[in-house]
Amino acid sequence: MSVSVSPSIPTTNAVDPARWPDVASVPQCSRARAAGAELTVRRALARLPLMVRLRGAETLGRGGPLMEVHHPEAFFRRIGATGLIGFGESYMAREWEADDLVGVLTVLAENVSTLMPQSLQRLRDLWTRRQPEAQRNTLEGSRENIHRHYDLSNDLFSLFLDETMSYSSAVFRGFPAERSLLADAQHRKIDRLLDAAGVGAGTQLLEIGTGWGELAIRAAARGARVLSVTLSREQRDLAVQRIAAAGHADRATVLLRDYREVIGRYDAVVSVEMVEAVGAEFWPVYFTALDRLLVPGGRAALQTITMPHDRLLASRDTFTWIQKYIFPGGLLPSVEAIEQITEAHTRLRVTERAQFGAHYAETLRLWRERFTERAHEVAALGFDETFHRMWTFYLAYSEAGFRARYLEVQQLLLTKEEST
């Protein structure tokens, strides 16, 4: 299979241009912009504790994890054309490699605020892409965004998740975490949320974002009545099967339904790493829905990945590699944003908060290692090598974010104030 690109910028012919058009070819970029990107990136890399080797010869950086750039011209042009989207696409195109990918990405995450000169940061809106209209989290847009990630294949997710099929941060007793203890750590996470929400016998519980049903199973085992809603057909089908197999079909119901379409009143709401899929435009709508659905004095226990508030303000409208390839329509909130929105639009108040980012780094490490070990099984499901590199980059990129403390994960308890 041949790929038509500039003859001066080689790429691999293993990338399927029908499936990965923006990876198979190097984007157009003016000479001036490409040269400017190269100068900026070279200066940034020269200051970092990395060893960046260009085409096996020239070396940049102050020493550290090794990054091998096999095709520098393509690498710099991609960054010049699409910024950090191009950086990720360059890895997908095999234009650069790193034996310690997490190490390289951790260094970059630790220095994200200083990689670009202040003069260019002030011109951010001129060179970064805006989030596409098609990814807005309207009722229809949310269904499509969720479908693109969570309906990939239940078999794919089962290859690297533990037997609880939990796709969110676990809570371990100690580090380094062992894979054999991951299921227990996931149960510990779930039980903390259920305890915070006061879920027990007779509780009317709403879960927003079913996953594959483990939280609903544990809540039903406590005697709660559970309504769980999801937009993923794949997840819903397997969750229903797992709930029935656990003997709780009479206590837990799973519906294909948007959170905006849920009716009724509930003693508690639990939602695990779902607010990240809501989008900043709809955060007020989401928290208003929680307020509407909770009885006075009710509790909402949320687990969410967060970013620093200043980074949210700087990047909330930017189209990112993660949004393009992994979580369309996604955006991480800050705790400050959640508090501001709930105080302005609802009677919900954050009354408890716990953070445990180091636990997410370990959770992601275990997932990434398992995903790598089972590469042949991933391929047997019909996912090609470019997909494998994309997901390896995604898992490593996420792990690096937590190791650098650029990202955090929080469990928040929001209590609804009694009516006056």
Average pLDDT over residues 93-117: 91
Q: How many domains does the chain have?
A: 2
Q: What value does the mean pLDDT of the chain take?
A: 93
Per-residue pLDDT, 56: 81
Q: In which band, very low, low, confident or very high, does the pLDDT at 128 lie, cut at 50, 70 and 90?
A: low
What is the C-alpha to C-alpha distance for residues 338 and 394, in angstroms, rounded to an integer?
25
Does a structural domain hold residue 309?
A: yes
| 16 domain residue, yes or no | no
Instruction: Looking at the structure, tell me whether residues 68 and 208 fall in a common domain.
Output: no
- The predicted pLDDT at position 162 comes to 98
pLDDT band of 132, cuts 50, 70, 90? confident
pLDDT at 8: 39
What would the DSSP string read from start to end of 323-364? Answer: HHHT-TT-----HHHHHHHHHHH-SEEEEEEEE-HHHHHHHH
Quote the CA–CA distance of 281 and 328 in Å, as a whole number.
Answer: 14
Asked if 117 and 193 sit in the same domain, the reply is: no
Residues 231, 283: one domain?
yes
Average pLDDT over residues 63-80: 96
Looking at the fold, whether 109 and 70 belong to one and the same domain comes out as yes
pLDDT greater than 50 at residue 6: no
pLDDT tens-digit map of 227-271:
999 999 999 999 999 999 999 999 999 999 999 999 999 999 999
Statement to judge: residues 79 and 141 lie in one domain = no
Asked if residue 8 is part of any domain, the answer here is no
State the residue range of the domain holding 347.
135-416
Of 420 and 377, which is predicted with more confidence?
377
Which of 272, 140, 268 minimizes the C-alpha distance to 212?
272
Same domain, 123 and 142: no
The CATH number of the domain holding residue 366 is: 3.40.50.150
What's the rounded mean pLDDT across residues 151-156? Answer: 98
pLDDT reading at 276 higher than 90: yes
